[in-house]
Every structure is written in C-alpha cells, then in structure tokens.
Amino acid sequence: MLETDFFILTARRTPSSCLLDTDVGDPPLSPPAEGDPVQSEWPKSVGFRMSDSDPGLVVPDFINNAFRFLMVSPRAKAHLEKSLQQPTEYLQFAVIDHKGRKLKEPHFVVNIVGRLDCADAKTSKGDPDSMNPGWFDYYEELHLDVKKIPAGTRIFRLGTRPCLILVHRSLKDELETEKFTGAGFVPMGGPEE
C-alpha cells in the first residue's frame, strides 16, 4: 500500500446543493464524529435543517453539513452497507427543508466506529488540539504511515483527527463509478480541505 492510495472523504458543495447546519427535534447527546458507538443513544426524532443562509435545495448523496458528520442518502447508505466490513452505524435522521418541511425519504449519518492511529508524526504538519492531547484541530499537511494501516482497509477514522474519514482508492473508484453526488476526495500530502 502507498500513501497515494488513500484520500480524505468530504462532501463537496455546489451552488445548488444544500448545507445542513441546525439540528431539529432531539439533538444527539453523543455526536458521531469521533468514532465512538452512539447507536443506543441516537434519538428517534432527530432532524437536520437546511441552512437559512445558504439557498441550495438539492440533497446530494454525500451531504455537506456543519457538524462534521458523514451524512448520506439512502442510495449511498445501501452501497456502503454492501461495501464495508468494519463496524459501522447507520443513524437515521430527517432532512428539514428551508420552509420547515420534513423530506419523505430518511437520510443517514454514517458512523465509522473506531479510530486508526496512522498519521505520520514526522512529516505531517498541523495545529494541535488543546483539549485533546495527541489530536489535531487541522492538518496543513497530512501524511500517513501506511505500515500502520491493516491490509484490506477501505475506510477509517484518523486517530489524531477523528472527524476525518479516509478511504482507500478502491472505495473512491467505486463511488465515482456509481456517480454518487457530493462525494469529494482530498489526496494525502496537502491540507485537509
């Protein structure tokens, strides 16, 4: 495996796509952005509202949001359920449009459970997290120690910045071939966004 085989998975913005930035109903007590299991605590009536400051209406397969969650459409969820082997939670939520109406189709937060400590501390550069020793608030330059990544790994949370989800080229290629909307891929060696 090479470092160039991995990418940061992001949700790309387009002028027509929405941004979810407000939780509605019962907000989650434990946010699924750090790799801890939260299924048992996830509220049944949670929703996320489209931003009032952003006019986009289209809900893509990979949804940009202010929470740093991996939010996906039912179509993307079905593909990930078939493709991923590691522990993963699919946490249902409702998308609320600009007028306060709930979309009929449920969407999902994908919680990749666990973290993989594989950032190369010698070559990566970033801002340390003052609240969590050993973690980073941001990477200006992210490099991986691929020897620490188990063979066959297709997706994982970065141990030193758990809100970052990295994917192997094989999963990236699948998502691109299937034309999932909103999925973005940031290569290693540069800034995280």
Strands (E), 25-150: 47-50, 62-65, 70-72, 88-96, 107-112, 125-128, 136-141
Percent of the chain clearing pLDDT 70 (strictly above) = 100
**Which pair of tokens denotes residue 135?**
């973690």
The region of weakest confidence among 36-50, 120-134, 156-170 is 120-134
pLDDT the model gives residue 16: 94
d(CA 51, CA 57): 10
pLDDT the model gives residue 56: 93
pLDDT of 131 > 90? The answer is no
Q: How confident is the model at residue 6 (pLDDT cuts 50, 70, 90)?
A: very high
pLDDT of 30 > 80? The answer is no
Q: Where are the domains positioned within the chain?
A: 3-11+115-187, 19-112
Q: How confident is the model at residue 105 (pLDDT cuts 50, 70, 90)?
A: very high
For 31-40, give one letter per residue: b (16+ CB within 10 A) or e.
bbbbbbebee
42: three-class secondary structure by DSSP: coil
The three-point CA angle 32-19-117 to 5° equals 35
Per-chain mean pLDDT for the chain:
93
Averaged pLDDT, 42-61: 93
Q: How confident is the model at residue 103 (pLDDT cuts 50, 70, 90)?
A: very high
172: three-class secondary structure by DSSP: helix
CA 21 to mean position of chain CA atoms? 15
Q: How confident is the model at residue 174 (pLDDT cuts 50, 70, 90)?
A: very high
pTM across the whole model: 0.93
